[in-house]
Amino acid sequence: MEAVIQNSELIRVGFWLTIKLFLIAGGGALAIGLVLAGMRVSPVPPLRWFATSYVHVVRNTPLTLVLLTANFGLPEIGIVFDFFTFAVIGLMLYTAAFVTEAVRSGINAVPVGQAEAARSIGLTFGQTLQLVVLPQALRTVVPPLASVMIALLKNTSVASAIGVGQMMQQMSTIAVRNPADVIEVLIVFALIYAALALMLSAGFRVVERRLAVAR
């Protein structure tokens, strides 16, 4: 444990970057996922085609490839950011595909009569989706969204592939500096990730219970 104590500042920096990366990418993924889910059930064929193609392509592409494409591909078209921003973009776009499918499953679970009743009083598709369908759908998709967000938390470790100094990157640095204490270092970082995932899961369970009461 001496190696962990001596490198506590590196762990603190990595922990903060991991949380920051998760919160920004998670918020963006939820926003993009909601829009894409609406497009997936849209009556406009081009919107459905675009959203469906996006989901199928991104979900079947390795996350590392998505991050490397964002990091090396975007500068080729004049979009230049730091490594952290590229990591946020890659994680956000990747996770959005999974959020889309989770939300779409919730939309499909809402009885068709709800949308028909909304249209009968003159609501447009967008108004029906926003005011009637999505509020009900989101209550049913809390567990799958929790799984997606926990996966995102763990996927932040892949950002080390493009040089972002989150926990996985710092773990590698500490392990290289202290080869005799590799096992202890690995255990400590595994426990940190597990603790974060458990806290996130507990938070989603609270949200699920509250929404279940409201239902």
Residue 121 identity (one-letter amino acid): I
pLDDT digits 0-9 by tens, 129-185: 888 888 888 888 999 999 999 999 988 888 876 666 566 767 777 776 766 667 777
Domain boundaries of the chain, sorted by first residue = 2-214
pTM of the model: 0.86
Most confident residue range from 32-36, 66-70, 125-129, 193-197: 32-36
pLDDT of residue 164: 66
Give CA–CA dist 140/163, Å, rounded.
Answer: 37
pLDDT digits 0-9 by tens, 93-123: 999 999 999 999 988 888 888 888 888 888 8
pLDDT (average), residues 31-59: 92
pLDDT of residue 215: 47
pLDDT over 90 percentage in the chain: 32
Q: Half-sphere exposure of 11 toward its Cβ, with a 13 Å CA cutoff? A: 17
**74 in Cβ contact with 86 (< 8 Å):** yes
Residue 84 has pLDDT above 50, yes or no: yes
What is the average pLDDT value for the chain, to the nearest integer? 85
**72 in Cβ contact with 81 (< 8 Å):** no
pLDDT digits 0-9 by tens, 32-43: 999 999 999 888
H or E element, residue 173: helix 167-177
Residue 54 has pLDDT above 90, yes or no: yes
pLDDT (average), residues 16-35: 92
- Among 142, 156, 119, CA closest to 26: 156
69 CB burial (10 A radius; 0-12, 13-18, 19+): middle
Architecture of the structural domain at 2-214: Orthogonal Bundle (1.10)
